[in-house]
Amino acid sequence: MSRPTLRLLLSHPAHFLSLGLGSGLSPVAPGTVGTLLAWALYALVRPPFSDAGFGVFLLLGFVAGCFFVPLTGKALGVVDHGGIVWDEFVAMWLVLWLTPHGLWWQLASFILFRFFDIVKPWPIRIADARFKNGFGVMFDDLLAAGYALLCLAVAFKILRFA
């Protein structure tokens, strides 16, 4: 398994996106660095869209990732290389889109998403092991986003009635 390089990043648009605009080149915790960049970019990516438009944008980002992520995985020698962080981008944007407004909610969404993406509780671990392709790379992060959103919804309900 090779390490992603600046040369690879710039060699093809698929690699540029798969490697999270360069955040996947981080030698330490590229998934976390990619998720942080996704969070920072959310304020730029979200405003041009209506809710329906942003939902379509996320769906297209997911589907496109299923096709271009494996190209980068092949170049790196493993389909789910740690430097591939487009899956974190799409999943984090989904979580932020469905999270109540405010810095503390966004911070909680970041922490919860990273927790579930790293720990991979059932069924995330099963999906991660079973689907060794672009869909699998994207899907396990979607499941982690679902866990994060469930926790956030419960916290919102508890705090709303407290």
pTM of full prediction above 0.85: yes
Three-state DSSP class for 84?
coil
pLDDT in tens, the chain (162 residues): 678 999 999 999 999 999 999 999 999 999 999 999 999 999 999 999 999 999 999 999 999 999 999 999 999 999 999 999 999 999 999 999 999 999 999 999 999 999 999 999 999 899 888 988 999 999 999 999 999 999 999 999 999 886
Name the residue with tokens 């994060």: 148
Question: Can you give the residue ranges of every domain in the chain?
Answer: 6-161
123 upstream amide cis, omega within 30 of 0:
yes
| Residue of 67, 109, 108 whose CA lies nearest to 86 | 67
CA distances from 95 to 35, 83, 114, 120, 142 (A): 11, 21, 11, 17, 9
